[in-house]
Structure 1
Amino acid sequence: VAPSIFFGGVPASDRLFVETMCRMLHLGNYRNIGLEGLTLFFNYNPMINDHLGRALAEIRLMTRHLGDFELEPALLVCEITEQAADDHVLASLVREMRRDGIRIAIDDFGTGHSTEARIKLLAPDIVKIDGAWFGALCRHAAAERFFRPLVGMLQERGAKVLVEGIENAQHLRVALEGGADLLQGFHLARPALAGTIFKEEPLSVDALLDAGNKVVPLHQQR
């Protein structure tokens, strides 16, 4: 089931429980990846839990149990999703997580409420560029020229820039020439289940940028 369908069908009275349960399952799966020291991103939807006291209690409960999951706070990055939120609640929540050593990311920058105003409010460690927005930008001939100043502005504010939605060589080229720090997308790797054996060898940038290579090996044996 697609996440949008699943979460869209959760009754309002159950959303906080389901959101918390999914987050804890996600943290619990960390040990099943099989590689140490990987950064683990998790989402926080400010619309689901907008009561300051409950939100802080939830984060404190999660932090207390990180040892059970063999996780250190420094390995975690909390993605603040693009929904509207009370600025006071959001700022207090971010301060609490930073006090524990958890880093902050703003998700889907360029859409919804993930705007420059939210950058100023939260001073994130990482800004994730929305994949759909980035894909539309890459259709312009001068995409690199337009993208580079945005990346520079975010980096000057102390954030690393992660580009989502890298689906082809053109997307990768624009992101690299724009100065992006981190990359994510199907052109680089597909999602995999926890417990999958990951290839740890670095990817070849030259091969990934070779958009003209259309040769596909065929199996001769029927």
Structure 2
Amino acid sequence: MARSLGLPHIMREADGTAVGHWGPYVLKTAFQPIFAFEPDGLKQRAFEGLIRPFRDGQATSPGQFFAAIPSIDRLRVEALARDLHILNAGTAFGPQVTLFINFDPSLFCEKPVVDTALHEMRIVLGEAGLPFENIVCEVTEQPSGSALALQDFVAALRREGYRVAVDDYGAESSDMERVKQLRPDIVKFDAKWVARLMDSQPGVTLLKVMVGEFRQQGIVTVFEGIEENWQLDVAHEVGASMVQGFVLARPELSPTSFRLEGGEPAQACTPSDPAPEALIVGDAPVIARKPQGRVFGRRGLI
């Protein structure tokens, strides 16, 4: 492999899976599917890459792992995580896959750092055989050094041909300002915030208004953390473009049982009406379920 910040810490296992090594930790990729509402059903359209650390053979929480990383090493470890996801997606799914990967904006405040990171990402994408346009770069909620630095970083991602997503959107003033400044292609709604709003009619109405406003701006919306069937009904009702959560598929360590085409779906689900635009490349089987009665929240609130 050509060298980059992350690649020297990666080894291939016998089955082709890329595994990272950082001190006492072994780092693995987990993939979770993202599904799009389409006129003929809910279809698997993308995957998010998630890091899974292990120490002495035991799983460690990602939060605990990253908290143990000194700030001087954070850029290298973040690059290692992205490299793992890209290499494993290329091996598992091939060039048709659409892959969501995370970027901590606080690490990309200086142009030389941005230029180096994007150059190294080109190397890894070439190694994996993945096209730039199939990569969605999620800008996480960590604050950047400055608004201008964050805008410059997002502009650099776009020049490379990547799509940009704002992660963990929760309608705080800072979130709305972030969307206004960055003009992302995709907004991923915070799971806990969406769950609270879905529990009442006023909350559902607010979600519908916000999703409609984003659609008018050409922004795709993704509801994260969908864990129950009734939440899928609400997500479809308010017009969300895509959904992600345990009710459809839990993350699986690479190599996974997921496939881009054919095979058994993770769980059944079909919306009752045609949905908004299909926005992600690739194809997967329609996932169908029986429509349910209209309720709000766990208790059927009205």
TM over 0.5: yes
RMSD value over aligned CA atoms?
2.1
Aligned equivalents of 2:180, 2:171: Cα separation in 1: 16
Residues 162 and 181, structure 1, Cα contact 8 Å, conserved in 2: yes
Give the unaligned 5+ runs of structure 1.
213-222
Deviations along 1:19-44, one digit per CA (max 9) or x if unpaired, are 11111111111123235512101100
In structure 1, the residue corresponding to 2:253 is in which secondary structure?
A: coil
For residues 114 and 95 of structure 2, the distance between their equivalents in structure 1, rounded to whole angstroms, comes to 29
Equivalent of residue 254 in structure 2, options 194, 200, 208: 194
Q: Where do 5+ consecutive residues of structure 2 fail to align?
A: 1-59, 259-263, 265-283, 296-302
Does residue 9 (structure 1) correspond to residue 64 (structure 2)? The answer is no
**Contact 1:125 1:158 (8 Å CA) reproduced:** yes
Query: Per-residue deviation at 1:126?
Result: 0.5
- Deviation for aligned residue 1:75: 0.6
Tell me which residue corresponds to 1:162. 222
Q: Could you tell me which residue of structure 2 aligns to residue 108 of structure 1?
A: 168
Q: Structure 2 residue aligned with 1:149, among 209, 227, 239?
A: 209
Which of residues 66, 73, 80 is equivalent to 2:125?
66
Of residues 196-205 and 34-43 in structure 1, the stretch that sits farther from structure 2 once superposed is 196-205
Aligned residues: 211
1:92, CA displacement in angstroms? 1.3
Q: How far does residue 114 in structure 1 lie from its aligned partner after superposition?
A: 5.8
**TM-score by structure 2 length?**
0.65
Partner of 1:54: 113
Q: Provide TM-score, normalisation by structure 1.
A: 0.87
What is the one-letter code of the residue matched to 1:201? P
**Counterpart of 1:191 in structure 2: which amino acid?**
P
Contact 2:83 2:124 in 1 (8 A): no
Going from structure 1 to structure 2, the CA distance change for 1:58 and 1:112 (only over 3 Å counts) comes to farther
Indicate whether 1:131 and 2:191 are aligned: yes
Residue of structure 1 in register with 2:47 after alignment = none
- The CA deviation string for residues 82-102 of structure 1, in whole angstroms up to 9 with x for no partner, is 111122221111111111210
* One-letter identity of the residue aligned with 1:116: M
Instruction: Give the distance between the partners of 1:100 and 1:31, measured in 2 at CA.
Output: 19
Q: Whose RCO is larger (CA < 8 A, sep 6+)?
A: 2
- Work out the percentage of aligned pairs sharing the same amino acid: 35
Q: Structure 1 residue runs of 4+, over 4 Å off?
A: 111-114, 209-212
Structure 1 pair 6/167, CA: closer, same or farther in 2 (3 Å)? same
Following superposition, the deviation at residue 66 of structure 1 comes to: 1.5
Higher relative strand content: 2
**In 2, Cα distance between equivalents of 1:10 and 1:112:** 29
Equivalents in 2 of 1:39, 1:192: separation in Å?
Answer: 16
Cα-to-partner distance string for 1:157-193 (whole Å, 9 max, x where unaligned): 2210000011112211221101000110001111112
Instruction: Write out per-residue CA displacement over residues 50-101 of structure 1, whole angstroms, 9 at most, x where no aligned residue.
Output: 2232122211221244111111001100000011112222111111111121
Which of these residues, 136, 148, 154, is aligned with residue 77 of structure 1?
Answer: 136
The structure-2 alpha-carbon separation of the partners of 1:104 and 1:113, relative to structure 1 and needing over 3 Å to count, comes to farther
